[in-house]
């Protein structure tokens, strides 16, 4: 059954790990905006000026794979509901069920997000 999984959580909560495990189990193709910042050698080079382009890439990659009939796993922080709305809209348009999950682990974040930035995200978190 085709599905769209949305995994949300603060940096270091286990989103990418869960998404990678789900992909390995065949539940769908994994996308996240941070993938946009990987160079051809897999080195992460975050540029805040590219944040909007990264999320547009993630949404378009998701849409393309869903339209092709596949399931998708998207793992982004999604601190506010409006950030997930484009995904809910595309799933509704394509009649695909959405499963939303929240990761709450406290691991080392792999992208070096500063503690003060994580705290700002925590302050704007919408349940």
Half-sphere exposure of 33 (CA within 13 A, CB side): 20
* pTM (two decimals): 0.94
The sign of the torsion formed by the CA atoms of 73, 77, 80, 86 equals negative
CATH number at residue 95: 3.40.50.300
What is the distance between the alpha carbons of residues 111 and 108, in angstroms, rounded to a whole number? 9
pLDDT of residue 53: 97
Model confidence over 8-43: pLDDT tens digits? Answer: 999 999 999 999 999 999 999 999 999 999 999 989
> Is a pLDDT exceeding 90 seen at residue 72?
yes
**Tally of domains in the chain:** 1
DSSP string, 57-77: HHHHHHHHHHHTT--EEEE--
Q: What is the pLDDT of residues 54-69, one digit of tens each?
A: 999 999 999 999 999 9
Range of the domain at 75: 4-124
């Amino acid at each position: 059954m085709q599905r769209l999984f949305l995994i949300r959580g603060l940096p270091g909560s286990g989103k990418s790990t869960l998404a990678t495990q789900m992909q390995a189990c065949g539940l769908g193709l994994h996308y996240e905006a941070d993938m946009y910042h990987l160079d051809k050698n897999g080195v992460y080079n975050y540029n805040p000026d590219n944040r909007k382009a990264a999320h547009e890439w993630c949404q378009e990659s998701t849409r393309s794979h869903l339209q092709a009939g596949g399931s998708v796993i998207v793992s982004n922080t999604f601190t506010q509901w409006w950030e997930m709305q484009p995904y809910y809209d595309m799933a509704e348009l394509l009649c695909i069920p959405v499963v939303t999950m929240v990761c709450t682990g406290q691991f080392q974040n792999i992208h070096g997000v500063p503690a003060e930035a994580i705290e700002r995200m925590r302050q704007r978190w919408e349940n």
